[in-house]
Amino acid sequence: MNKWLILALLTPALATAQKYETSDGKIRVAPVKMPYSGARNVPELSGGPDYLEEGGVVQWIEEAGGTVKPIPTVKLTEAEDKDYGEWHRLGLANAHLGNIVAENEREGYLTVGLLANCSSLSGILGGLQRSGPSRRPLKIGLVFIDAHGDINTPETTLSGMLGGMPVAVAAGMCLRNLRLESGLDIPLPERYIVMGAVRDTDPLEQELLDRSEVEHISTDDIRNRSEKIHAQMERLSSLVDKIYIHIDMDVLDPKEVAGHPLTVPNGPTSMELAGALTEMFRYEKAAALGIASTPWGDRDTDGLSRQAAYNLIKGAIQGIKER
């Protein structure tokens, strides 16, 4: 077994929480745009991250009490840009994303990922894993809020979509090379993962979940800010050094994400989820937020989806202010 994996599993969680607060009470926030999708059936570069920035995400963060670091866009190097293979290129881009996340964390900024889709998961997790003061990888927990489990493997998937596999990749269940290329050296133990509002899974994917140690919070838990949210955040905080909270916009009430191709009925509203995020980000080990798959352009003609994404960011910032 890899020596770093042994060390990470045996070492107690450290007190590595960030306050993300300036001396004048502002919250340091560092949005980062990750446009690479890794998808073969859609454009490789999504316009969603730009759409969120152009709509005024900086102003929204500042109005919520944040101070904003200049927003970078993840880009491949000139040599990498010539490489073949969407999944391979995604892994390279994820590694760049992880470097930005690690730098943000060391500088005391809350990373807010403006993400093409959920396939950026390993990049952000890897960045947090490498953000500590030494070479020892940190233990990272994941709260994955999505209408879908995204824990399919090539053996369980019905669609064959990479976008349905990122949790399985992060947990070391499949596509090892993609995980390592993305910079997530140590996969997440299943007990470090909590899923929120998942309500649409493939049959074999559900069987995999049923056999796993992955924990769950329901849509009703999110709507009602139930004690189960606190129980899971307390449990994760006792196990890990930092927690990444990831949201796929398809988790929301379909009325707010009408342009998303994978909506599922009975989702929380953005305001309900924002309230739950406030509860989660009160915990000092909550270290990054990701917003994936925001409908953009002609798929969000009324701007509801962009507004919903801003509501979620505001909810997270409010939680940090209440620490």
- pLDDT tens-place string over residues 119-142: 999 999 999 999 999 889 999 999
The total number of structural domains that make up the chain: 1
Selection from 175, 68, 159 nearest residue 111 by Cα: 68
Please identify which residue in the block is written with the tokens 């020596």: 3
- 195 is in which domain, residue-wise? 3-8+22-321
Return the pLDDT at 236. 98
Q: What is the CATH number of the domain that holds 278?
A: 3.40.800.10
What are the Cα distances from residue 28, in Å, to 20, 163, 233, 241, 257? Answer: 5, 30, 22, 20, 28
Is residue 77, in this structure, part of any structural domain at all? Answer: yes
The amino acid that residue 61 corresponds to is: I
User: Beta partners for 122?
Assistant: none
Residue 279: inside a domain: yes
Residue 243 within any structural domain of the chain: yes
Is there a domain that residue 161 lies in?
Answer: yes
User: What is the C-alpha to C-alpha distance for residues 198 and 224, in angstroms, rounded to an integer?
Assistant: 16
Give domain status of residue 29, yes or no: yes
Which residues, given as ranges, of the chain have pLDDT below 70? 1-17, 40-41
Q: Are 260 and 249 in contact (CB under 8 A)?
A: yes
Q: Is residue 15 part of a domain?
A: no
Read off the tokens for 209. 């979940």
- Domain assignment present for 135: yes
In a domain, residue 16? The reply is no
- Give percent of the chain above pLDDT 90: 90
- DSSP sequence for 135-181: SSPPPEEEEEE-SB-----TTT-SS--GGG-HHHHHTTSS-HHHHHH
